[in-house]
Chains A and B, each alone.
Chain A
Amino acid sequence: QKEVEQDPGPLSVPEGAIVSLNCTYSNSAFQYFMWYRQYSRKGPELLMYTYSSGNKEDGRFTAQVDKSSKYISLFIRDSQPSDSATYLCATLSRGDDKIIFGKGTRLHILP
């Protein structure tokens, strides 16, 4: 079992819809949880990071961590065609130096 599992998609939703992207992880030692956005043939761009459980909001983006079920989510409100990209979840143990990435979910926002 990979340490971070993520459905590769593609996920297609109409413009303006709420998007829900999810990951599961296996290592209970993970304490930091990150979401990256990656456009085609570009480097990943850090969107948000959270520590431990709870929610964090930044504009149209909300990250949610449920450590009891080892489940992390990213919600995008009022989705735009410019949100079309691959979204990578990533995790990190406290005191560790290696980020573990999921495979990424390809998202298409349909105009």
Chain B
Amino acid sequence: DTGVSQNPRHKITKRGQNVTFRCDPISEHNRLYWYRQTLGQGPEFLTYFQNEAQLEKSRLLSDRFSAERPKGSFSTLEIQRTEQGDSAMYLCASSPQGAVYEQYFGPGTRLTVT
């Protein structure tokens, strides 16, 4: 399967703990995006990378959130000192060069903060 993959699929953590999610994009795609989706809402943009460079971050991305894509392949999203409001589906997507409108999503990581 050459689609976008995300791990873990589910994560339950206690408030105050740190969590890290991983995304592996489609191999030939140089752009990688992170979104957050809560129940009854569409995905909301968090940040994106072109190769290893992080080019934009949303206001939604507080200082507790950090994302990396060290070698321009997979990416990680870390949330420090989790809060109950961080409970959501975290989605990763990738797109080919020059085709931002053609984003392919992974299955998501569902985070529950207790």
Contacts and interface: CB of A to CB of B under 8 A. Distances in A.
Interface of A: 4, 6, 8, 32, 34, 36, 41-46, 49, 51, 88, 90, 92, 96-104
Interface string B71-97: 000000000000000000001010000
Given A43-B4, A46-B103, A98-B58, 4 more contacts: A32-B101, A88-B42, A99-B100, A102-B42
Q: Of B45, B103, B110, which is in contact with the most chain A CB atoms at under 10 Å from its CB?
A: B103
A45 B45 CA distance: 16
Interface of B: 4, 6, 40-45, 48, 55-56, 58, 91, 93, 100-108, 110
Majority secondary structure, B binding face: loop
Given A41-B110, A101-B43, A101-B44, A46 B104 contact: yes
Contacts of A90: 42
Nearest to A104: B42
B56 A44 contact: no
Contacts of A44: 43, 91, 105
A8 B107 contact: no
A34 B101 contact: yes
A21 to B, nearest CB: 13
B75 to A, nearest CB: 15
B103 A97 contact: no
29 contacts: A8-B40, A32-B100, A32-B101, A34-B101, A41-B108, A41-B110, A43-B6, A43-B91, A44-B105, A45-B105, A46-B105, A49-B102, A88-B42, A88-B43, A90-B42, A92-B101, A97-B48, A97-B55, A97-B100, A98-B48, A98-B58, A99-B43, A99-B100, A99-B101, A101-B42, A101-B43, A101-B44, A102-B42, A103-B40
Contacts, number: 60
A43 B103 contact: no
